[in-house]
Amino acid sequence: MSAVQDARPQYLTALDQLEKLFATITPADLGRPTPCTEFTLRQLLNHVVGGIHRFAYMGEGGRAQDVLAGVEDPSDEGWPAALGRARTRVTAAWADDARLGRPAVAPWGEVPGAAAVGGYLMEVVTHSWDIATALGNGFALDDDLARAALAVARSVMPAGQRPPGAPFGDARPVPEGADVQTELAAWLGRTV
């Protein structure tokens, strides 16, 4: 994962973006479909916040497989607070620079901590696109974050057919001249 050595600053910026995006969600939006066809918006929010807690648990020394990537569904207006709690935990869990060089047991296997951070950067940025797309409210996503996530995705995800059970679908074609957000979404199997 040479594209990103220490992705923690970018990961925290991605969480900033996610917090702003969560602030635009209303209870009426929670039943919307998302580009992650197996999830409604409510289910995707549950998965995203749970994934941040899972990543925090990994930073605390735990194995990702020991916890679900989900949380107990907060009240309809409690999603920003749930994200805030997850953010506080993950920030503390990954604050020590030494954590980047230690092994972390991620859902995809044991990797150096720095690689786990890159993987979760890709996850948060991609799901931010999913949420913004589901909302369709014109929320402007950060292209620099998408470029960083795309660099990670291209370094760890093959271009061709992905193995069964991979967390992201096969890469899809993008229209010529597509923006980086669209490129990232398509690389990770979204229909764009």
For 14-61, the pLDDT digits (tens) are 999 999 999 999 999 999 999 988 899 999 999 999 999 999 999 999
Stretch 2-13: mean pLDDT, rounded?
Answer: 82
Task: Say whether pLDDT at 75 is over 90.
Answer: no
State pTM to two decimals.
0.93
Split at pLDDT 50, 70, 90, the class of 108 is confident
From the list 141, 139, 106, the residue with the least C-alpha distance to 120 is 106
Split at pLDDT 50, 70, 90, the class of 72 is confident
Stretch 175-191: mean pLDDT, rounded?
Answer: 93
Stretch 127-135: mean pLDDT, rounded?
Answer: 97
pLDDT of residue 3: 42
pLDDT of residue 165: 67
The 3-state secondary structure of the chain, one letter per residue: CCCCCCCHHHHHHHHHHHHHHHCCCCHHHCCCECCCCCCEHHHHHHHHHHHHHHHHHHHCCCEHHHCCCCCCCCCCCCHHHHHHHHHHHHHHHCCCHHHHCCEEEECCEEEEHHHHHHHHHHHHHHHHHHHHHHHCCCCCCCHHHHHHHHHHHHHHCCCCCCCCCCCCCCCCCCCCCCCHHHHHHHHCCCCC
Report the percent of the chain where pLDDT is more than 70: 97
Return the higher-pLDDT residue of 160 and 188: 188
Stretch 2-23: mean pLDDT, rounded?
Answer: 89
Stretch 93-106: mean pLDDT, rounded?
Answer: 96
Stretch 126-153: mean pLDDT, rounded?
Answer: 96
Say how far apart CA 35 and CA 132 lie, in whole Å: 10
pLDDT of residue 8: 97
Please give the CATH topology (third level) of the domain spanning 8-187.
Four Helix Bundle (Hemerythrin (Met), subunit A) (1.20.120)
